[in-house]
Structure formats: C-alpha cells, structure tokens
Amino acid sequence: MPKHFLYRTITAAVATAIFSLSPNAYSDGFDLSEKLSVTGFIDMSTVRVEPDSGDNSTESGFDQFEIDLLFDFGSGLSAQVDLEYQDDGDG
C-alpha cells in the first residue's frame, strides 16, 4: 500500500471523527459579530469497493456544502446570502 494512500486514509478518518463527535456544537449557527451570523452544513461520503478479483478502491469527498451569511442592519432590515456547492458527479 502506498504511503500517500495510507496518509490520506488516516487524515480522512481523523477529519470524519472530529466532525462527527460534535455535530450539534454549531447546529444553530454562530455569531461572527452583533450584526453577522453564519449557519450551514457539510455533506460528505466515502465509498469502498472490494471486488473478489482486482484492486480495492476507496473514494471520498464533499457531496455538498452550504454556508449562509445572515446580516442584520437594524430597524427591521436584514439580508441573507446562501453560498452552496454541490458535486455534479464528474469529480
């Protein structure tokens, strides 16, 4: 097994563990300032194929993420900006 594959596998496992241990820590978003809040989510997946013959393969990545910026200008005036990425399946 190549060293870079092992390193990437360990890195992906550690990152997944860190994100999954505290999924509710920022479930309601957080305030960057009195007038700016941030919410959003990250959707990731990993697929492992182990055929009876041939090489094993593992693919992982971000399927989708969204970041929402919420602005409060006061006097009842507010704005929201949604930034989204979605994998189209082409990598």
Q: Is residue 17 domain-resident?
A: no
Q: How many domains does the chain have?
A: 1
Q: Is residue 16 domain-resident?
A: no
Q: Is residue 31 domain-resident?
A: yes
Q: Is residue 61 domain-resident?
A: yes
The residues, any chain, with a CB within 8 Å of residue 2's CB and separated by 6 or more, are none
pLDDT of residue 86: 85
**What does the alpha-carbon distance between residue 32 and residue 29 come to, in Å, rounded to a whole number?**
10
What confidence tens digit (pLDDT) does each residue in 66-75 have?
A: 889 999 999 8
**pLDDT tier, 17 (very low <50, low <70, confident <90, very high otherwise):** low
Domain residues for 50?
Answer: 24-86
Residue from 67, 68, 80, 70 nearest 37 by CA: 70
pLDDT of residue 63: 83
pLDDT of residue 80: 93
Do the bridges between strand 77-86 and strand 57-74 make them parallel or antiparallel, or are there none, so unpaired? antiparallel
